[in-house]
A and B are shown apart, each in its own frame.
Chain A
Amino acid sequence: MALLEIENLHTYYGYVHALKGINLTVEEGEIVTLIGANGAGKTTTLRTISGLIRPREGRIVFDGQEIQGMPAHKIVQMGICHAPEGRQIFSTLTVMENLNMGAYTLGGDKETIEENRRRVFDLFPRLEERKNQLGGTLSGGEQQMLTIGRALMSRPRLLMLDEPSLGLAPLLVKTIFEIIKEINQRGVTILLVEQNARAALKIAHRGYVLETGRVVLSGPAQELLQDERVRKAYLGER
């Protein structure tokens, strides 16, 4: 059974019908990417899964349990962690304090927190160098690392990343995506939302193409990379 199964998901912002029946699955151990233009519903899908918005219709099944309508903090406890768009780190807290916040659901379990912190620092040695620096003084790439690191602190089974490449220099994008791959190889399932379709499809196993709240195309990432329509619409080819 798939780790995450979404059936016929409908989400509204007031009267705006943002998701019009999304179906998707994520298998354990996969990297799945959602690509699409602005306003396609990528971020909305993540926000609905993580409980920040309630869907009006449809089912979200995580690890055999329906989670739609559950409050966000319960969903985090179940093992889904959402690294939100635009590097929402706490700029007046230090790197350490930011990371500790990610471990909030673990409560006072100091050993596990320490162990998770170790793993995060293994992935991002840069964060360890800057652990006492304020979040706001980090560079864009470091802030993105901190966002991902913070999300990993709760040791999620499913990590949802929203536009990790946003506003980063091309070289840094490459680094970040390599790290995402590395995280996946260490056993974390990843649902990745990206505008940078090429970079995302290169590391993903499968992909879904969203357009105005619907899945218009899905399949193995390699196939999508070759697909005529995807190449035209999202990879910038004529």
Chain B
Amino acid sequence: MTALRERLQKVNPLWWQLGLLVLAILFPLPLGDYHRSVLWRTGLYIILGLSLNIIVGYAGLFQLGHAAFYALGAYTTALLNIHFGVPILLTLPVAILVGAVFGYLITRPILHLRGDYLCIVTIAFGEVVRLALVNNIFGITGGANGLSGIERPVLFGLVLRQPIYHYYLVLFFLVFTIFAVRRLENSRLGRAWMYIREDEVAAEAMGIDTVRVKLLAFIIGSGWAALAGSLYAAKITVVSPDQAKFLESVIMFCIVVLGGTGSIPGVFVGTLGMVTLPELSRALKDWRDAWLGLAMVTMMIARPEGLWPSRRIRMEIRAAKEEASVAPAAGN
């Protein structure tokens, strides 16, 4: 058994990745439209989870209003397409830009808040966005009904109508996202996030512009959530304020925390538990809120680092735990 494991570990990781990609491409083929849609939704939430992971996992900041940016992306695509006839795929970069700009505007004034306080304010901002959409702000968001009549995306003359096409569209962006966040994680910016997450004061004293670096986490994460929103609008062709619901933000947050903050495979595991399984099983869906709470509490007690944590974060959490248990004796 161990011999097998050792041999498996020796395999070039590139082969694993290629294998997984081929599997992801072939997997939906024997399935029906319903299950293809479930896969599409899974991919979409993995993208959302990865975008939130930049903020929560890498930079160690709270964001419980992430769904607001998801909705902003969807509305951007809807408005541009319905009113100006912009092809769906061309609205994607605009949506990313809108998400990023709003990410900047909303988080700039609250960036000095820490921990729970930041968390509360992000919840409030999420609600502000949802209520603005419900109240038909500027008369363009269609109120509680949202907007409908979005065109189908067209790629090289092919109208993307069936779920399978949308699955591949999401898969394409998912692969790109994974590539991008891995580059980001190991970049200079990624290291700066890691330093801030561990010790903000020390990071500041070492010459890291903490405000700028934290802002960048929010800007990138928000822009990417908006992209996911656009992809949603492209398939469903209807957008509504429901996308900005607090529960959506909670689900995204749970995806990141359940799988393991800061871990890319963790986001996959988290999405499986929070989105895919409830979607497949009616019973689980009805009880999803309870299941969500139960999962969170169990995780906090039994496995605070998540189901598939990143090596580094597991060390950080263990170190913090040890410190907490030693502190009363050694405190000065």
Contacts and interface: CB of A to CB of B under 8 A. Distances in A.
Report whether chain A binds chain B: yes
Interface of A: 50, 52, 71-73, 76-77, 81-82, 84, 88-93, 97, 100-102, 104-105, 107-108, 134, 136, 150-151, 154
A75 B206 CA distance: 10
19 contacts: A72-B204, A72-B207, A76-B206, A76-B207, A82-B205, A84-B201, A84-B202, A88-B201, A89-B202, A90-B198, A91-B319, A92-B312, A93-B198, A101-B191, A104-B207, A104-B208, A105-B206, A105-B207, A108-B188
B209 A84 contact: no
Interface in B192-236: 192, 194-195, 198-199, 201-211
Interface residues on B, range: 20 to 34
A72 B316 CA distance: 25
Nearest to A160: B205
**10 nearest A-B residue pairs (beta carbon):** A76-B207, A105-B207, A88-B202, A92-B315, A73-B209, A72-B204, A82-B205, A73-B207, A90-B198, A92-B316
A52 B209 CA distance: 12
B202 A90 contact: yes
Contacts of A93: 194, 198
Given A71-B209, A76-B207, A154-B206, A90 B191 contact: no
Given A101-B191, A104-B192, A92 B198 contact: yes
B201 A52 contact: yes
A52 B200 CA distance: 11
Contacts of B319: 91-92, 136
Given A84-B201, A88-B201, A90-B195, A102 B206 contact: yes
A92 B197 CA distance: 12
A101 B312 contact: no
Question: How would you classify the secondary structure of chain A's contact residues: helix, strand, loop or mixed?
Answer: mixed
B95 to A, nearest CB: 32
Given A91-B319, A92-B312, A150-B206, A101 B195 contact: yes
Contacts of B203: 101
Interface of B: 188, 191-192, 194-195, 198-199, 201-211, 312, 315-316, 319
Contacts of A81: 205-207
A31 B150 CA distance: 71
Given A90-B199, A108-B188, A154 B312 contact: no
A89 B194 CA distance: 13
Nearest to B205: A82
Contacts of A92: 198, 312, 315-316, 319
Nearest to A90: B198
Given A76-B207, A81-B206, A101-B206, 18 more contacts: A52-B201, A71-B211, A72-B204, A72-B207, A81-B205, A81-B207, A88-B202, A91-B319, A92-B315, A92-B319, A93-B194, A93-B198, A101-B195, A104-B206, A108-B188, A150-B206, A151-B206, A154-B207
A95 to B, nearest CB: 15
A134 B205 CA distance: 21
Contacts of B188: 104, 107-108
Contact of A88 (B194, B199, B209): B199
A134 B318 CA distance: 14
Given A92-B319, A107-B188, A136-B319, A72 B195 contact: no
A104 B191 CA distance: 9
Contacts of A134: 315
Nearest to B203: A101
A84 B315 CA distance: 23
Contacts of B192: 104
A136 B209 CA distance: 25
A105 B188 CA distance: 11
B261 to A, nearest CB: 14
Contacts of B194: 93
A97 B205 CA distance: 16
Nearest to A166: B332
Contacts of A107: 188
Nearest to B315: A92
A181 B316 CA distance: 35
Contacts of A82: 205
> Which of A52, A72, A97, A100 lies at the interface centre, i.e. has the most chain B CB atoms within 10 A of its CB?
A72
Nearest to A100: B191
A134 B201 CA distance: 20
Nearest to A105: B207
A6 B200 CA distance: 26
Nearest to B311: A92
